Structure 1
Amino acid sequence: MKWKGFTDKTSMLYIGLSLIIITIFFDKFILNIPVFCEDDPYVSFVYIIRTFIISIGTLFIFMSLINVNKLEEIAFDKKSQLVIIFSLLVVVLFWFIFMYSPWYFSQLSLEDGPIEFGSFLLLILSSVIMLNVLRKTLDVDEVSKYIKVYYLILSIIFFIIAMEEISWCQRVLNIETPEYMKSNLQNEINLHNFATNYIESIYYFGAFVFLVFLPFLKITHKNYLNRIDDNLVIGSPIVGIFGSLACAFNYDMWNIVFTQVAYVFSLFYLLLIINLLRNKNEKIITFCLLIFMIVSQVTFIINGENLIRYWEVTEYREFIIPIGFMAYAISINKYINVNYIVKNEAYEIA
């Protein structure tokens, strides 16, 4: 049965992309705001309509990519349920701190503070796990050399992001900033502060694609990588849940179109997960995550004037994203162990 008119999936995709592109042009030539604008959220009537248009465009894109015939029920094991609940409690705690003590919220996110160190530690652990995955698959012929190179590159990327987070241990080792590095925003040994707005936007949206969008495609278009086992490279549905949580921590970057696209798409992703989960308790947990994402983002926008530094919310986002990276690394490691390492060992014994 063919889809026709505005229900045709290709038409829906074009309409969605057109609405997003039109919004970007409207920002540039009518509202005179840059594409990567960092500022307090604009909440006038015009910008509320703008958010509505972005949401409709994102919905069209989301719906155009759903393949109903490929959808299957999802179930989480007990450990995954506990991890989701623990993560929810952590982000809710962050939100409560923001609501009741903006000063303490600020202190936790300072340079060399627990939030920054936690981000660094999670990224290093993700890098180590991916390196371990590479080690395990070196002698596994069923895993192609391209996937093994991918694991190595991913491990290096996680390591570089971790070191950028702490300015390559500059403050720990008390290293003076070289002259050629002093022109960056923080006068530190790192690369991302030479073009902070652009690099942060690329990092956040890239994390959304990696942690939410790709798992979404994996759910809606099973085996869309053709001859490659997509479980070797794409995160499980639970990875998308962690990625979605990160998309709900916005303030200074809320005005950016891609930020709102990632946020709205993540809400729809959670709705899809709720619909596919077979366990009632899992549905309730995921629904609580969805409600939290809405409440937290609204309160960040409304109460953002209480922030000591207006970019502090993104410091917490940079803590949650590595949780998603580590969840990804663990899910790949688990899949390799169960479907390749154990099976090969059983075959050798036989």
Structure 2
Amino acid sequence: MFFPKSLFLVLFDEDGVFKYLTTLFFLLSSVFFVRSLSRKKSLFINSYILIIALVCFFIGTEEISWGQRIFNIETPESLKHINYQEEITVHNLIPPDYHPFIYLVISLCCLVFFAFTNNRRYEALFWVTKKYLPSKKFLVIAFLLPLISWYNMEHFEVILSFLFCVYAFQLFKKFRSS
């Protein structure tokens, strides 16, 4: 076999390579988004970018349980009872049976957002001008996200984090050069 299943499982394990890549991509996204903020932009655009930066930071730190295993932090007893993985996380308060549906909704929202914002006719729906939005290339990935989310949530997370990292980097580059 070209790629052993055991290696695949290790890479996508709870503390595996792809879990940390997901964290890295989301945290880098957050940094690039913050670095894209500027006084030249309107308050609305800066707020849009800052909200995305904060969401990426939150998701990135949630992925590694806010550093719980890295810094050997004990989960408070009250949280252990309501968190199905007994971690300091918000996303594990929701039972895993609902995760595929939540990921599917996130995927569809990304698809709608990337599809409609890349169409001049619908651009005004989101109140953000085209130059602040991801390129049409993201449509392909956004189109595949619902399928990926149904197949495997860890794959979904790493691809979504990479998608946002590239978007943030493109935004950063665009405004650093102007």
Q: Supply the distance in 2 between the matched residues of 1:128 and 1:149 (Cα, whole angstroms).
A: 15
Shift of 1:324: 0.9
Say which one has the larger Rg. Answer: 1
Alignment partner, residue 328 of structure 1: 167
Unaligned runs of 5+ in 1: 1-95, 255-299, 301-312, 343-350
How do residues 240-319 of structure 1 correspond to structure 2 at under 5 angstroms?
Answer: 240-250=139-149, 254=150, 313-319=152-158
**Matching residue within 52, 55, 76 for 1:154:** 52
Q: Supply the distance in 1 between the matched residues of 2:63 and 2:48 (Cα, whole angstroms).
A: 22
The amino acid across from 1:206 in the alignment is I
Alignment partner, residue 102 of structure 1: 5
TM-score between the two structures when normalised by the length of structure 1: 0.45
How do residues 38-187 of structure 1 correspond to structure 2 at under 5 angstroms?
Answer: 97=3, 101-134=4-37, 137=38, 139-140=39-40, 143-183=41-81, 184-187=83-86
Cα distance change on mapping 1:178 and 1:232 into 2, 3 Å: farther
Alignment partner, residue 225 of structure 1: 124
Shift of 1:232: 4.3
How do residues 203-214 of structure 1 correspond to structure 2 at under 5 angstroms?
Answer: 203-210=103-110, 212-214=111-113
Q: Supply the distance in 2 between the matched residues of 1:177 and 1:227 (Cα, whole angstroms).
A: 40
Any conservation in 1 of the 2:117–2:126 contact (CA below 8 Å)?
no
TM-score between the two structures when normalised by the length of structure 2: 0.84
Unaligned runs of 5+ in 2: none
Shift of 1:111: 1.6
Q: Supply the distance in 2 between the matched residues of 1:229 and 1:315 (Cα, whole angstroms).
A: 30
Alignment partner, residue 12 of structure 1: none
Cα distance change on mapping 1:228 and 1:242 into 2, 3 Å: same
Cα distance change on mapping 1:196 and 1:162 into 2, 3 Å: farther
Q: Supply the distance in 1 between the matched residues of 2:174 and 2:122 (Cα, whole angstroms).
A: 15
Shift of 1:229: 5.2
The amino acid across from 1:151 in the alignment is I
The answer to whether the aligner puts 1:236 opposite 2:143 as a matched pair is no
Any conservation in 2 of the 1:164–1:192 contact (CA below 8 Å)?
yes
The amino acid across from 2:166 in the alignment is A
Shift of 1:248: 3.1
Cα distance change on mapping 1:320 and 1:332 into 2, 3 Å: same
Q: Secondary structure at the match of 1:186?
A: coil
Alignment partner, residue 92 of structure 2: 193
Q: Supply the distance in 1 between the matched residues of 2:167 and 2:108 (Cα, whole angstroms).
A: 13
Q: Supply the distance in 2 between the matched residues of 1:330 and 1:216 (Cα, whole angstroms).
A: 20
The alignment covers a number of residue pairs equal to 175
Any conservation in 1 of the 2:118–2:130 contact (CA below 8 Å)?
no
Q: Which digits, 9 at most, give the CA deviation of each residue in 1:251-278, with x for residues without a partner?
A: xxx4xxxxxxxxxxxxxxxxxxxxxxxx
Q: Supply the distance in 1 between the matched residues of 2:65 and 2:57 (Cα, whole angstroms).
A: 12
The amino acid across from 2:16 in the alignment is G
